[in-house]
Amino acid sequence: MGVTILAGRLITRLKEKAEVQAVKDVGISNRDIYTVRLAGLLHDVGHCFLSHASEIALGPIVKPVMKEVEISAKPHEFFSYLIVSNPYFLEYWEKNIAGLFPDSESVPSLDDISKIIVGIPPSDDKRYLQDIIYGPYDVDKLEYLYRDARTAGLEITYDIERYFYKIHIFADDSGCRLAMEQGGVSAVEQMIFSKMMLFSFVYHHQKVLASDILVHDIVMELLHEKNDRIDIEHPTDFLKYTDYDLFSSCNVGTTDRYNKIRDKIKNRDLPKRCLVLNKESVVNLTTDYSVKKNWRRLLEDLRGLPSTRYELRKKIVAEMRSIDGCENFSIDDIYFSFPKAPSFDEAVHGPVMTFSGKIAPMGDFFDLEGWKTTYDLKKLKGYFFVTDKYIDIASRVISRFLEAEYSLVFNENAKIQAKVFDGSKAN
C-alpha cells in the first residue's frame, strides 16, 4: 500500500507541474494515474514465502525462464508480471474490477501494468509511468528504505517532500522520462546513503545472512524431495505456499532434513560464524595479481549456482570428518554466505536537469563509485557458519582448506571478526 500511496502522490504532483509549466507532449490522464497506482499495488504480488529470503534461492531457477521471454527483472517482479498478464487474472479483472472505474476511458490496461512492473515502458511517450515504479527515481525505494529501517530500529532520514518537489518530466529521443533537478540531488544523496546504511546494518548483517542460507536449503529440499503436502514441479508452484505452509506444526512428513532445517529457523537456532572474510583480511591481495585472481575465483564459487556451493560444502565436510571428534560433521553443519555489494548503477545514470537546462548523469554530482569502492573494502563481508560445537575446529580447518584449494591466506582479522581468539570462541 505504501508504494501505491507514494506513486499516486508523485504522479499527481507531476500532473500539476506539467500543466503549470505547459510541458509539451505530456498529458497525464486519470487512466495514467490509475495505471501507476495499480502497478504500485501489484508490483510485489509475486513474492513467494519469506519474501526476499526465498528469492535468493529462486534466482538461479527463474533466470533461464526470464531469458527465454527476454525480461530482465527480479524473480518476484517476473512472477508479478506472470500473474497480472495471466488470462485468468484478466477474466477476474473484467468481471470484478473494470466496472469500478468512473468511465471506460479511465480503465487501466493490464498489459501496461504488467510491463511497468518489470521495467518495460507502456510506450515511449509514457516512459515516466515506468520510471515511477521501476527506475532510478522509483517510489519503491522511498517506501522500503523507510519501512525496513523503522522496523529494524535504524534511524535514517531523507527529504521526501524535496524529492517530490524537485522531480519532473522531460522529453528526449527515448521518450518522456523522469529527471531530478540539480537542486534535488541532495535528496537523492540522502536516499543512497540510507540504502548503504540498511545494507550494512540490516540486509548484510551476519544473523540475517545465516537465516537466509537456511531458507535456501529449505527451498532446495522442496525442489528435490516430493511429498503430499508441498509439491514443486515448476518455479511458479512456489506461489501456492505461504510462510504458514512451511512452518506449521501440521506440516510434517516431508523429509527429516526439511523438518530439521525448518525447526532451526522457527527456534532461531542459527549456525554461528567461525570465519569472516573481506578484502582487508586477504594477505597480499593488493600486491599480488595471482592472489587477486584466486580471490575472485573464491567469490565466484561462494556466490555460484546451488550445485557449485553444495560441492564446496561437501569438500569442507570431508576435511572436517578427517579430524578426531568430527566424524558426524554433516552438510547441515556448514554454511557460507558472501553477498554482493549494493548496486547503485541506476542512480549513477539517473538523469539530472542542470541549472543551465542540460541533462547530465547523477554520477557527475557526487562520487557514487567512491562510495561503492569504500563499501566493498570496508563493509562487505563474507561468512563461514557452523554448528556451535564445531566453531573452534572449523575456523582452523576452513582456513587451511581455503589456502590449499584457492592459495589464499587470511590474516588474524578473519578469526577476530568472528570472535574466535587463539582457538577459543569468545562469549
Least Cα distance to 110 among 100, 99, 101, 122 occurs for 122
Tell me the mean pLDDT in the region 47-52. Answer: 86
Q: Alpha-carbon distance 137 to 179, whole Å?
A: 8
Question: What confidence tier does 242 reach under pLDDT thresholds 50, 70, 90?
Answer: confident
Tell me the mean pLDDT in the region 335-346. Answer: 88
Q: Which domains does the chain have, with CATH numbers?
A: 2-203 (1.10.3210.10), 217-270 (no CATH), 272-339+380-427 (no CATH)
The whole-number pLDDT of residue 274 equals 97
The whole-number pLDDT of residue 70 equals 86
In the predicted model, is pLDDT for residue 66 greater than 70?
yes
The whole-number pLDDT of residue 214 equals 93
Residue with cell 512428513: 253
Task: Give the start-end residues of each E strand in 186-298.
Answer: 272-277
In the predicted model, is pLDDT for residue 29 greater than 50?
yes
The whole-number pLDDT of residue 171 equals 83
Question: What confidence tier does 89 reach under pLDDT thresholds 50, 70, 90?
Answer: very high
Give 338's contacts (C-beta < 8 A, 6+ positions apart). Answer: 277, 299, 302, 303, 381, 382, 383
Question: Do residues 135 and 346 make contact, with C-beta atoms less than 8 angstroms apart?
Answer: yes
The whole-number pLDDT of residue 229 equals 63
Q: Alpha-carbon distance 25 to 30, whole Å?
A: 16
Question: Do residues 275 and 415 make contact, with C-beta atoms less than 8 angstroms apart?
Answer: yes
**pLDDT > 70 in the chain, percent:** 94
Per the model's pLDDT, the better-predicted residue between 81 and 1 turns out to be 81
Question: What confidence tier does 427 reach under pLDDT thresholds 50, 70, 90?
Answer: very low
With H, G, I as helix, E, B as strand and everything else as coil, classify residue 347.
helix
In the predicted model, is pLDDT for residue 386 greater than 80?
yes
The whole-number pLDDT of residue 373 equals 85
Sign, CA dihedral 202-369-213-135, equals positive
The whole-number pLDDT of residue 426 equals 47
Within 13 A of 95's CA, how many CA atoms are on the CB side?
Answer: 6
Which span out of 105-119, 224-238, 336-350 was modeled with the highest average pLDDT?
A: 105-119
Give 375's contacts (C-beta < 8 A, 6+ positions apart). Answer: 196, 199, 200, 341, 342
The whole-number pLDDT of residue 359 equals 92
The whole-number pLDDT of residue 230 equals 65
Which span out of 241-250, 308-317, 414-423 was modeled with the highest average pLDDT?
A: 308-317
Question: What confidence tier does 139 reach under pLDDT thresholds 50, 70, 90?
Answer: very high
Among 120-124, 180-184, 185-189, 227-231, which stretch is predicted with the lowest mean pLDDT?
Answer: 227-231
Tell me the mean pLDDT in the region 200-216. Answer: 93
Tell me the mean pLDDT in the region 230-244. Answer: 78
Give 100's contacts (C-beta < 8 A, 6+ positions apart). Answer: none
The mean pLDDT value of the chain amounts to 88
Per the model's pLDDT, the better-predicted residue between 306 and 251 turns out to be 306
